[in-house]
Each structure stands twice: as structure tokens, then as C-alpha cells.
A = this chain, B = another copy of it.
């Protein structure tokens, strides 16, 4: 297992692999790895000759009031965890290696980014698309792996890859949950004990929606109201958004039909958590 800090090093490594015909799977992360990330790496391990993981807390995807400064970082622990699942290379650059002083270029996806997290996190997806484009150009992978937990991110990245003709397969991996159902996230570590319990409300609300739809309910407003009511009963929870949208365009689903995404963002104390459910509703 190698750890590279410079673009030149990782490029040389990948170039040599490509010459020998090896395929490269890439898992971009912001580090502080958890089982969600490790599942992505395990998937990449199965499907590629070489697995590259990037660890880079990307400043441009954080808003001015967000947690860029406090975002948890622990490279040596991350390297150990990545080694454990058979990763070949960790690329862990400094911020200055990635963003030059005069850098002025951004990649933007319109439409899809106006909804859900994009509506409340201004500039977030431009930051995501820009860093992912850069990492794609640096790593030059055959496949890249993203977690379904960031549902909007997955849809935005897939759109970007199609639109800019990146020759890369985007592979999506299902949400990994704790035993009690909480979606695993680096931000869960911010939660105090009471908050950790309260955080379950996201999963519980999604289950209510799933059960309603499973039992035939198709009225979007009724489903949404029940979701909201469940979350509102939790005193430590404050809703950022609760939305039921079409997966294709992320616009409000008029009908509960076809490819539906139920997406939540909820503050538990000061910690903003997201969770979602993707459904294919026949009728």
C-alpha cells in the first residue's frame, strides 16, 4: 500500500498500471473512513485490478458557515482501514497541491442542483463537481464509486459524467446502516448520546413512508405529512428539508409513481444529517 501526496506521483503510478493493461477503480472520499466508505472500496476491489482512494477534505464544497474547519481528519487511521480492505494506493494531497492560487475554473450542473441539498447549500455541488472533475483527470480511473447515501450527489455526478463525456463508469453502492438503522456518516461522530438516539428519527420516518407506499398510499401530501410529523415529534430534530421527488430531475413528484426519491435533511442539535430512500413504484 502506497500513500501519495502529489499529483505527479499518483499520475505516474496510474500511467504504469494502464500500460500493463490494469483497470483502475477509484473511490473519492473526504477521509475519516467508516463502513460506508469501506463498502465502496470492497466493491471497487472486486471489479478492478487496482483500487485508488483519495482522501481530501475539499474546501470548495463547504459553505462559509459549514464545518470545513472541524471536519474530522485522521490519515493514519484511514490508511490502516484502507489497507485492511485491500486498497492499493491512497492519494492524500494538501489543499495547495489541488488548488493553485489563481484557480478560476468551476464545473456546474444546472437544474438538478437547485433542489434538496442544493437549495440550502449554495455552491456545494459546484464545489463537488469541480473537485470530482479534477480528481477524475488526475486519477484517470475506469470506474468510480459513490455511496447512495448522497443520493443527489450521485445523480449530479452521473449527469456531469454524461455531459462532459468522461469515459468512466459511475458505480453506486447502497446505504450502509448501523444495526439500529442510522445511516453511517462521518458526521455521526458529532452526535452526543441523546442526539445519537434522536438521529434514528430519519430512518424511522423513511420507514413510515415506505410502509405507507407499500400498503398502497399514493397521496404525496399525506405521505409527506406523516414523515414531517414523525420528525417533529423528536425535540432534538429540526427539519432542513423533507422531499418526495422524481429521481430523474429531482422535481417534486406530482404522482407517487416510477422512480421516486424520498430525501431528508435534518438537524440533530447542530449536526445536519441526511438520509434517503429510492423506490420504484409500479402503480
Contacts and interface: CB of A to CB of B under 8 A. Distances in A.
B163 A104 contact: yes
Interface of A: 7, 11, 100, 102-112, 129-130, 133-134, 137-138, 140, 159-160, 162-167
Contacts of A165: 7, 134, 137-138
Contacts of A160: 105
A109 B103 CA distance: 9
Contact of A104 (B109, B133, B134, B137): B109
B110 A163 contact: no
9 contacts: A100-B163, A103-B162, A104-B159, A104-B163, A105-B107, A107-B107, A108-B108, A134-B164, A137-B165
Contact of A133 (B110, B138, B164): B164
A167 B112 CA distance: 29
Given A105-B110, A107-B164, 20 more contacts: A7-B165, A100-B163, A102-B159, A103-B163, A104-B109, A104-B110, A104-B111, A104-B112, A104-B163, A105-B107, A105-B109, A105-B160, A106-B107, A107-B107, A107-B108, A108-B108, A133-B164, A134-B163, A134-B164, A140-B167
A105 B134 contact: no
B112 A164 contact: no
B159 A105 contact: yes
A105 B107 CA distance: 7
A104 B159 CA distance: 8
A164 B108 contact: no
Contact of A110 (B7, B106, B109, B110): B106
A108 B105 CA distance: 5
Contacts of A164: 105, 107, 130, 133-134, 137
Contacts of A108: 105-108
Nearest to A140: B167
